[in-house]
Amino acid sequence: MFNADDLKKKFLNDIETARSESQLSEVWKTYLSKNGSVQGLMNGIKEVAKEEKKAYGQFVNDVKNWVQEKYDEKKKEIEALEPVSYTHLRAHETP
């Protein structure tokens, strides 16, 4: 079963070091995709005692929401930093 504290630490390190959309895409694959670490936490519910499943499920949802929020913040930050090309807008102009 995955350890949520370790996941958060690794995620924070990876998200902090992501400097481009391609690096951010790798972060998404590692943590938020169908085969990512957050899904691994969700799959861990099978190992939890029946009376603890509700609390565990809520905990995992909180972790997922936190990871998604940090990812979205970083995505906006990277999108704001990457230069925008306006070349395609000027293609129709003639000299």
pLDDT, tens digit, 9 for 90 and up, residues 1-36: 557 889 899 999 999 999 999 999 999 999 999 999
Give kind and range of the element (H or E) at residue 17: helix 4-17
Secondary structure of residue 32 in the 3-state scheme: coil
- pTM for the predicted model, two decimal places: 0.78
Q: Give the mean pLDDT of 62-88.
A: 85
- Cα(55)–Cα(17) distance, rounded to whole angstroms? 32
